[in-house]
């Protein structure tokens, strides 16, 4: 009897992959040959000094900025030539540094309109009452529960606290049911008292998704991330487990090598401030 053929353990296919992405503005290189494969279901913290290219990378991945060279793949699909809408339809979602919600609408109306845009693309029957669209109402109410805003459903978004506006924006991004979620400083401006709840929400909604997180709160990054990527001058200079990145001399040099590189992250001068729980 023939011996069974051995099987090879295959590496997981990437959820998002980019190859040799370069963005230049005149003589300034914002992103310099960036390549990486992001695995399914992992949270990646993307850190670096001010001007490192973090937001440029997000803009290129989401399709808002075209790279001069390079390619972007969602799974096996080459989406390099697609814009924001095309990539969103293929499972790529994003939140922004500056909160973007419909300020004059209630929290519930924000989420219902997002559901409507997804389920009824090109058809926006704004004159129809919500009760006439039960599926959209159901989706909106489910998202209220997901992001913890059930009690704020009928409040105008402009009256929410900054932390709750961030939660609403996250809910809007999640309405597309993204497989890959890009989060650009989701904790920015959130007060200390609300920070723990906001961090827990990020951890919860990241389950089962590939998430790229840009965040200046190093303690939150090191606690949430499965892997940390460090950019400097548009280049990837380090990647790996949070503890390994925290100790990397090249990373510390990128943050602390000169006053010009400190930016808003001057508090990285000690090991405690690089994300330890001390």
In the chain the domains, ranked by start, together with CATH numbers, are 25-274 (3.40.50.300)
CA of residue 188 relative to chain centroid, distance: 13
177 burial (CB, 10 Å; 0-12 / 13-18 / 19+) is exposed
Is the pTM higher than 0.85? no
pLDDT of residue 264: 38
Q: What is the DSSP string of 73-118?
A: EETTEE-TT--HHHHHHTTEEE--SS----TTSBHHHHHHHHHHHH
Q: How many CB atoms lie within 10 A of CB 4?
A: 6
Sequence-separated (6 or more) residues with CB below 8 Å from residue 262 = 49, 255, 256, 268
pLDDT at residue number 21 = 97
Which residues partner with 74 through β-bridges?
Answer: 16, 77
CA atoms within 13 A on the CB side of 26: 1
Note down pLDDT in tens along the chain; length 278 residues: 455 544 444 445 899 999 999 999 999 999 999 999 999 999 999 999 888 999 999 999 999 998 889 999 999 999 999 999 899 889 999 886 556 788 889 999 999 888 887 776 555 555 555 556 788 889 999 999 999 999 999 999 999 998 899 999 999 999 888 999 999 989 988 888 889 999 999 999 999 999 999 998 888 999 999 999 999 999 999 999 999 998 898 888 887 664 333 233 434 433 334 544 33
Greatest C-alpha distance within the chain: 74
- pLDDT value at position 17? 96
Q: What's the confidence (pLDDT) of residue 96?
A: 67
pLDDT digits (tens, 9 = 90+) for 228-268: 999 999 999 999 999 999 889 888 888 766 433 323 343 44
Token output for 190: 């959130």
Residue 38 backbone phi and psi in degrees, to 5? -100, 125
């Amino acid at each position: 009897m023939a011996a069974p053929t051995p099987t090879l353990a295959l590496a997981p296919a990437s959820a998002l992959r980019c190859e040799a992405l370069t963005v230049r503005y005149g003589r300034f290189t914002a992103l310099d040959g960036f390549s990486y494969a992001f695995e399914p279901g992992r949270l990646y913290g993307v850190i670096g000094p001010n001007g490192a290219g973090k937001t440029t990378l997000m803009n290129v991945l989401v399709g808002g900025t075209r790279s001069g060279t390079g390619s972007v793949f969602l799974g096996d699909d080459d989406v390099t030539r697609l814009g924001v809408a095309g990539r969103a339809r293929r499972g790529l979602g994003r939140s922004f540094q500056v909160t973007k919600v419909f300020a004059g609408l209630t929290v519930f109306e924000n989420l219902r309109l997002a559901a409507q845009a997804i389920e009824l693309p090109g058809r926006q029957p704004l004159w129809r009452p919500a009760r006439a669209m039960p599926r959209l109402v159901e989706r909106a109410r489910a998202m209220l529960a997901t992001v913890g805003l059930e009690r704020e459903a009928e409040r105008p978004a402009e009256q929410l606290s900054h932390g709750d506006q961030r939660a609403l924006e996250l809910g809007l991004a999640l309405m597309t049911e993204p497989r890959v979620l890009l989060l650009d400083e989701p904790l920015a401006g959130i007060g200390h008292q609300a920070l723990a709840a906001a961090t827990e929400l990020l951890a919860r909604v990241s389950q089962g998704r590939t998430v790229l997180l840009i965040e200046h709160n190093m303690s939150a990054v090191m606690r949430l991330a499965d892997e940390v990527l460090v950019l400097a001058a548009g280049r990837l200079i380090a990647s790996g487990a949070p503890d390994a990145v925290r100790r990397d001399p090249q990373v510390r040099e990128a943050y602390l090598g000169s006053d010009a590189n400190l930016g808003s992250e001057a508090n990285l001068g000690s090991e405690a401030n690089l994300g330890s729980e001390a």
